[in-house]
Amino acid sequence: GAVVSQHPSRVICKSGTSVKIECRSLDFQATTMFWYRQFPKQSLMLMATSNEGSKATYEQGVEKDKFLINHASLTLSTLTVTSAHPEDSSFYICSARRTGDQPQHFGDGTRLSIL
Amino acid sequence: QKEVEQNSGPLSVPEGAIASLNCTYSDRVSQSFFWYRQYSGKSPELIMSIYSNGDKEDGRFTAQLNKASQYVSLLIRDSQPSDSATYLCAVSGMDSSYKLIFGSGTRLLVRP
Question: In this structure, is the dihedral angle defined by the CA atoms of residues A102, A107, A108 and A111, taken in order, positive or negative?
Answer: negative
Q: Name which of B29, B40, B43 to mutate to probe chain A: the one with the most chain A Cβ atoms within 10 A of its Cβ.
A: B43
Chain B residues with CB-CB distance to A103 below 8 A? 32, 34, 46, 49
By Cβ distance, the residue of B49, B98, B102 closest to A44 is: B102
A67-76 pLDDT, tens digit per residue, is: 999 988 889 9
Average pLDDT of chain B is: 93
pLDDT for residue A53: 81
Contact B46 A32 (CB under 8 A): no
- Whole-number pLDDT of residue B98: 76
**pLDDT by residue (tens digit) across B48-82?**
999 999 999 999 999 999 999 999 999 999 999 99
Question: Is the CB of residue A21 less than 8 Å from the CB of residue A1?
Answer: no
Q: What is the pLDDT of residue B33?
A: 95
pLDDT at B96: 62
Q: What is the mean pLDDT of chain A?
A: 93
Contact B44 A46 (CB under 8 A): no
* CA–CA gap between residue B43 and residue B109 (Å, rounded): 18
